[in-house]
Structure formats: C-alpha cells, structure tokens
Chains A and B, each alone.
Chain A
Amino acid sequence: MRSEYKKWHEVLSAEFFGAGNALQSTVLYVDAEIERELAERVGTGLAQAVAGELNWSDPDRSLFSRIQYECEVWERQGSAVPPPSLPVLALSVLAATRMVSSEGMLKTNFYGRWIQLFGEQPSSSRANKLEQAFQDVAVMWEKLDIWLEQTGGLFGTSTVSTDALYWKIGYPISQALVRGSDRQVLTRFFAATRLRPHNPDEVSERELLRRLRVWTAGRDRHLSPRLMEELASAPDTGEVLIASLVKRLADEWDGTLHEPEREHRRRAVGLRLVVADRGRRLEWLAEACDGIDETHVAAPGGRTFTLRRAYGDVYEGLESLHPSWQQLGHGLHLEGDDLVLEWAPQEVLLLRLHPHLGEWVSTEYFEPGEQHWILAADSALRAVRSMVDALGSRTVREAPAPVLGWKLFKGVRAVNGLAFSRTLDRGGDHTHVLEPQIRHRAALSGGLRIASEYRAGAGVAGHFLRGGAPDLLLPASDSPDGRVEVVLDGRIEKLRADPRVPFPLCLIPLEEGKYRVGTAHSSQVFTLHDGLHEGPPPGTGTLGYPCDGTARPELSDAAGSQAAIRGAEAPRSIRLPHTELLRSSVLEAVLLDPHGGVRQAKRQSVPAWMACRLPAQALGPCLEIEVPGGYVWLVYRTAARWSVRALAAVEDIPPPVPAPDNYAWAYAVLSAAPRLQDPAWLDYVAAAEAVARSQGA
C-alpha cells in the first residue's frame, strides 16, 4: 500500500472513528469540501490515492485485490484499527454526494460519478471494470458495518444501511445523505419530537419519517437539500433507505445534541405546551432528563431559569415564563450548559389530555377515538375548521385561546373511521396533525383492562373485561390500497382495514376466552372475561369514613373491623323507626296500644317522584306506617275484610288495660276480632267486648 493511501486511512480513521466517536452514531460523510480539507493534510487527493491502489495489470485478480489483501491481513491481525478499505469507502461516499442531474448524468446515476472520480471515460472497458468491481466495495461496506457492531461502539455505532432499491450503492448513499450539520439538526428533531434516548418505545422507521416530514413541513430546518429531497421522494411503503438511516440514528441517539465542539454533552428536550384550566391558561412543560435533577437554562434575552426535577418527572421552574404568541409563532430556545429546551414553531398544535397532569398537553400524533384539542393560529383557522368538520365529530366546538391570535378547537375526535380516512386522504396544509402513529407491529390500545397484575408473561398482552376488548392498532401496509387484512384467531376477517384507524375489537361479539389478533405477520394475544372473582375482589371496601360518634369528613383506609361508612354500609348509630307495610288497597288502618290508645294511619298516595321515575310495577297499592313506641296491634280494613297484625312478638305484647270509655279502641279490636286466634289477641278481644258492654250498659 502506498504512503498516500495509508495517510488517507489514518486521517479518515481519526476523523470518523476516533475516540470522540465512541458510542456515537458515526457517519462517514465525505463531500467535495471535506475531501479538499482532508487532502490538504494528506497532500494527495482521495481519488488519486485510491486509484494508485487499483490493479489494472493482472486480469486474474480483481481491481481492488491489493486492498482486499490488506483487509484479510487486517482481519487476521485482530482488526484493532479501522479497516484498510476506509479510503475506498470514503471515495464511494464522495461519488454519492455528487449525484445530481448535471453534465448529462441523472441524479440517480451513481456509477457515472464513481467512474468520473477515477477520471475514466464512461462506457470504456475500464469504466465497466470499475462498475463491476463495486461488488467488492459493497462487501467492504458490509465488513465495516460488522466491525463497528463487533467493537461494541468503541469506534462509533454504525449507520451503514441500504435498501432493496439501491442495494450495493445504497451503502455509500446512506452515508452521503447525512452531513454533519444534518446530524446536528436531526438530534434537534429527535429532541423536538420527544424521542427518548435509544428509542425504547421503538418508534418505527416510518413513524420517524412521518414526524420528520411534519417537522420540516413549511419550515427550513437547515437540513441539506439532498436529505430533504430523499425525504420528499421516499415512498410510503416498503423498505426505505432514508427511513432506516434515521431509525438507526434514533436508536443510537443518547439524548444529547450532536455538538462535537461541546463533546456531545448537552441533553436536548422538546418543550411541551400545556393548556391548563379548561383552556384558560398556557404553561410550558419540560420533561426531566435522567441524571439532571437541577440545572439552569437561559432565554436568548438573558433571563435565567432554575429547573428542578419535580413529581411526574417534569421540571418545575418555568412557571413564570408565560407562553406568548411570539414564542408559539417563532419558537423558543432555552439553553444552558447541560440542557437545551426547544419549542419548534407551529401554526397548528395537537393536544391530548395528560393522564397524570389532568391537563391538555401538546402531543406528536393523533389517537383516533380519543379526544383532542387543537390550538390553531388565526392564519390556519379556515383550514383547521374545514379539516375538523370533515371528521364529522359532533363534539367539536371553538373557544377562545389564552393567547392572542390563536383559537382552541375542543372535543376533536375521529369516531367515524371512514370520515377519518377520507379527511387524511384529502390532505391539506394541516392534515398532518391528525395522522396517527405508523407502526411496524400490531399493538393493543385502550380497552377495559382487568387483572393487570397478571399482565406479564405467557405472551399475553393483557386481560380485558368482555365488552371492553381493546382497539387493535395495525401495522402499516405494503399493499397498494394501503389496507391490511385483520386476522382473528387464524381467520381472516372479511374487512380489510385502514391501519391508520384503530380496529375496534369491542364491536365484534366475542365470548370469554383467549384471542390472537393482528395481521398475518404481526399479532397480539389477549383474553376476555366476564369476571374473575366469586366474592368481592381484593381492594373492595378498603376506603371509608371512620366513625366515632360522627363520621370523619375525609375518606381514609378503613380495612378491618373499625366502625366506618363504606359505600352504603354504615354502623348503627341511631334507633330506626319501626315501620309496617301493607301491600293492599287499605281503606283504613289504626294502631292500637294496650292502654286503649288508637292512632289513625294516614292514607298515602303514590309520591310524584315515584310516579315519574319508577316503573309502574313498583307503584302497586301500599301503605307504609311508621309505628311509634308502645303500639302493639295494627288493625286495617280492605274492601273485602278487616285484618289484624301483631307489631311485636306476641309473647312481648302486654295484656290490655283500656279505660272503660275507650270505645274507638274497642270498636277497632272488635272489627277484626275473628281474624286471629292467638291468645294474646283473644285477651284484647275480651277487653274490647268488656268496653263495648260497658257502653251498652
């Protein structure tokens, strides 16, 4: 190997695979400018150095045979430094960066540029040989990728990618797509889209691409024209180079900004906007970063904020920074030594209710079926109005926003799947905010989950109450109509579903049992139950109002035998009135005591509230009599006859002691005299007869 080639190898190794690249995604990006800069250090151009290693003389050996040999030696000796192929690979990237339509070449023509770099004439035999030999260069790329993987990130993590369309030439193109400045911008994008470091949520390739398109829509984010062009032309289906490249960068992203000059120290987080108090107040929300519990950030004007990690893994300290229309419209950038917080300006914002904060918080994607709010700048009002109208949701209403020049749309939902798909397909300036996440696997969402403690294991995604089966979130489709076939327990449902709309499993009548749902390629298992407990489930009745004379005003733990109000369970605190019920059409009724006392029971009509609210069967004839203490018999008359009922255990009924003039008492007893043969009653009958006789005498 000549010294120029060796020098290039050293320079490229230091530049792209040095200590500073350890555990960072590395991209071997070499364009004309970088090549010039590095060439000054080496003293020879890259193409010249590589050309000097080519084997044109020995037809039995390949064009890159010398470098291939060096690579074999390198492998045998333990691969302790970057592979000797590095200058060849860098040259192929340089060729990829030149892929533009000019000089009679199309922008898709990689080999034309590759041949041109070696100064060969197109279609010449040497040109053909260079093109054929690229097969060997592709193998070198694959080896670089494997070496980076095997060294565990010590020299950086690989972003070498390709796809079915580009295949061999995809490798250099994958490196040529992302300039250093693009990488910086992309780390800002990852922060702004609130990706978590190393993408533990597995946000899919296409979802990242979708979000990147939304993030760059209508705004210059200073991504290179090449990357923007690839982004715009990437098809929506199939494997896409730009998507897999962004995904690799996202998977390796450690949450810091790509700032080599700061040694990649600063963490970056996208700010979220909170619409608090039912739409009356705005706040900024910053989610806390691991390892940074307290830090300072400053606004461009110099105002400094001290951030402290608070409950819910968010920072407090931004309360006094009131979101203004300028900030919403032009963005907000707060930075400190450890942290950069950024709000990317947007005209239309999607908000969803935060389950823990209980407020409406800006979000990256739409969840069809769930309720959202949209905060829209006046300039976008017409478009947003027409977009939400197209959803056909009856609950949408416009409300003033707590910031000048903006409006709130509350209650935005996509209940009607068809209208939702149509709205998305119709397109428009702001339709992107309605786009749901694009997934690469089937997932379950929502539903009425039970027995969550049994969730893990056995490949079951969850247990649900029958009638509350979850929604099936379908993976993106590769078919031309964009639809996927839903498979339920091996049966393909007739419906081909739009993967953008959650498939509502609760609308399929399903019995109790275990189900596998999804597509032919990706599925989830869940179970349905009517119930799991024979008796009250654990936890039932564990809260209550402890009672000690009176109940405590606040609810607290009330397990055990302590006297407490739990639901409608209450300790006996008072003596309840004794009531008697007569379920017949009673014409008159009296209560009798042993001393000749008579109390007339009032007839009652059906109360108005009962007539209004209860079914007719509950309104049959009934007399409910409250029995004061001391009364022992109830005597009553229906259309057919008189009757008598004891109001206490007969052995507890005292003997009668009426006064001789208790005629009404005697009349009542005698009316029902023959209706009971109990000795206690017969004593009363005898006493009544005595009173009656005294009246007669």
Chain B
Amino acid sequence: MTDTGGLLLRWVSEQGAGSLSEVKQGMWWLAAKHCPDFEPGAPGRWLRDAVSLAYMDIDWRNRRWCAAPPVLTRLPQARGLAVLTGSRTAAFDARVTQAVQDGLLELFRVTSARPLRDIPLPQSLIVQFDNDAGLARWAAELGVSYTPCFALQGAALLPPLSPGAPTSVPEFGKPLEQYDLERGEYRPVQRPRSEGLYRLKRRDSKRVCQVLRDGQWYETSHEQGVYLALETRSQAADVLRWRPEKDCGRERFGTLFVDWGYPLPDLHRRVAVMCCGLAPRINAQAENLAYDNVPYAIANKIAQSLGQHLGENDDE
C-alpha cells in the first residue's frame, strides 16, 4: 500500500480505538515522510474528514477515537451508487479485492481532492448496484453492516440545537477567548463581555468550549457552539446555502454550501457527506465547503437542526 490516506485509514482500522494525541503523532510522522507541503492543521483536518466519511468516530472532548464499523450504504438518488465506508483493515481490503476480482462487486476507487497543505484522504469505495436486495446481499457477503441510506436515515435523526450540560463560570484571570462570528476566529478577551461562544483551557489542560446564554454557562463543542451563538443573534446568519442542480429531473438535489468559520457538527457533516460518499469540495475563493448531491430535504433538515434558515446560493 503506497497511498498515504489509505495507509492511515488502515492504521486506525487495525488499532480499533485509541487516544487522539497518539493518532495525531502518527499522522505527523507519516505526513512528514510523504507530504512535503503539509501544514500544522493538516492532521486535524484529515481527522474531521475521516469523521465525515464515517471512517471513525472521535470524542474530541475526551480525546479518544474509535474506528467506525464497515458499512455499505446507498447514496440518495445517485444512479445506483453506494459507498463502502468505515474501518478498512488489511483482512477487509483483501476480501474486497477478492470480491472485485471474482466479479461479484462493481467498485470504483475515487479520490477526494485535497490541497497540498493537507494529508491525502483514503480513496472512497463507490459501489455500483442494480437493486437494494442485491446491495444488502453484498453487504452480508462482505461481512459488513448494511444501512439502506445513511444520508436519509441520519438526517431524520439529527437532534435539535441545544446547549450541553450547565457548567461553571470560567476561572477569573485564566486566558479566555471569545469566538468572533464575523471573522470566524477566537480572540482573546479579559472577561466574558456578552453572550456567545468562549474557549478556555480547563484545569486538566484540555481546551474546551463553553457557551454563555441567559447568564448561564453550558458545555458545548466548537461546532455546536458556533450555531448556538448564531442563534442568539438578532439578524439572520446566512451561512448555509443550497443550490439545486441544473440538470433535468434533478431539481430536488443540489449542493449545500457551508461558509468557513461555521463548520457543521460531526454528525451533520457526515449526513451531508454521505449524500455523495466523497469529502466536501473546498472552495478557497468563495471560502466555503461544498457538499454535493444533497437533497433539499436533507439540507433543510441540517439547517433546521442548527436553528438556521437555508439560504439560496450562488457563489462557488
């Protein structure tokens, strides 16, 4: 195996579970060998994409992760394509290769482009099928779970936006940062000045996010916190936009654009990514991420679940 992304996925798959700092150390080491232009944020971005693509689940707060079970799932209205995702151990790879060689499986290995500053992603395994029953049979033969259509099922399960557990006031005198929603970055503040999303280092040295609402502090993740902060603003945010496809007969499908600085939470990202089985496209010029093949209904579910109105959009 020579491709960096594939090797990393095999590595996390063979380990099953572990701590975030160890997996990042391994990524740093490998990236230093194979990606001369990678930037410090690359391991974090790779992990986020790996979560979106359902290769792993990461508990960021407790700095632990596990490989996700291997799953075969259909892409919504994608001309009979499914994606084979999750853990990819050597034994699993061997079974897939054998199935393809024996003509049992029609499979395409598709690369999601990433800039040179990033660590390459594993190739997505896109499977072409003729009917649902056949797809379920392949899943059984490969020994993987079958989820008829993760994008649709996951979208229906997206939770409404809510702050996490109440928590204590940040310790006075300790470094504190507030998320600037306009600039999309944290800025140091002396003390909490207004409602919004804050970041601080806990006593155990973990950096955590907390949101201040109605005078009470709540635990949150960065992504949930951004949307909680947006929700309390008076004006509409317009950070999620959807554009229908122009192709004939596909008006209900389109691209979901998410502006930089307003990242979707892990589960929302996964629902969006599992519409095409490929990582979101990065639009550096328009400063957004584009999720392809997202049905309007799913895009709207994502927006609603984050307390947002789905805008229409144009710039790519």
Contacts and interface: CB of A to CB of B under 8 A. Distances in A.
Interface of A: 276-278, 280-281, 283, 310-312, 314, 316, 319-320, 353, 355-358, 369-371, 393-395, 410-411, 413, 415, 446-450, 465-468, 471, 504, 506-507, 529-545, 547, 550-556, 565-574, 576-577, 579-581, 583, 602-610, 613-615, 617-619, 622, 624, 626
A576 B295 CA distance: 14
A149 B270 CA distance: 65
Interface in B118-154: 126, 128-132, 143, 145, 147-150, 152-154
B164 A370 contact: no
Contact of B71 (A567, A613, A615): A567
A491 B170 CA distance: 60
Nearest to A534: B91
B16 A614 contact: no
27 contacts: A281-B188, A312-B205, A319-B174, A319-B175, A369-B32, A370-B32, A448-B7, A531-B90, A534-B91, A539-B17, A544-B57, A545-B157, A550-B158, A550-B160, A551-B158, A567-B68, A568-B73, A568-B83, A574-B152, A605-B247, A605-B249, A606-B247, A608-B247, A610-B79, A613-B112, A618-B128, A619-B79
Given A281-B175, A450-B15, A567-B69, A555 B266 contact: yes
Nearest to A558: B57
A207 B64 CA distance: 35
Contact of B32 (A413, A538, A551, A605): A413
Contact of B13 (A319, A355, A537, A547): A537
A356 B79 CA distance: 46
Interface in B1-23: 1-2, 7-8, 10-11, 13-18, 21-22
Nearest to B291: A609
A565 B157 CA distance: 9
Interface stretch (B34-42, B208-216, B234-242): B34-42
Nearest to B245: A607
Given A395-B39, A540-B67, A565-B157, 15 more contacts: A277-B188, A355-B22, A355-B25, A448-B29, A466-B1, A541-B68, A543-B64, A551-B154, A553-B265, A570-B154, A576-B148, A581-B130, A608-B245, A609-B292, A614-B126
Most central of A310, A410, A536 by chain B CB within 10 Å: A536
B293 interface: yes
A695 B253 CA distance: 41
Contacts of B10: 465, 530-531
Given A356-B205, A541-B69, A555-B59, A467 B253 contact: no
A606 B149 CA distance: 20
A353 B28 contact: yes
Contact of B153 (A543, A573, A579): A573
A555 B38 contact: no
A388 B49 CA distance: 32
A440 B81 CA distance: 57
Contacts of A617: 108
Contacts of B160: 550
A93 to B, nearest CB: 49
Given A533-B14, A626-B77, A541 B67 contact: yes
Contact of A574 (B79, B153, B255, B267): B153
Contact of B70 (A276, A353, A536): A536
Contacts of B89: 531, 533, 536-537
A103 B137 CA distance: 98
B98 interface: no
Contacts of B253: 607
B136 to A, nearest CB: 12
Nearest to A552: B159
Contacts of B248: 602-605
B79 A606 contact: yes
B32 A371 contact: yes
B15 A624 contact: no
B156 A410 contact: no
A552 to B, nearest CB: 6
A410 B36 CA distance: 14
B175 A565 contact: no
Contact of A576 (B8, B55, B149): B149
A413 B154 CA distance: 42
B61 interface: yes
B143 to A, nearest CB: 7
A214 to B, nearest CB: 24
Given A536-B69, A565-B267, A465 B7 contact: yes
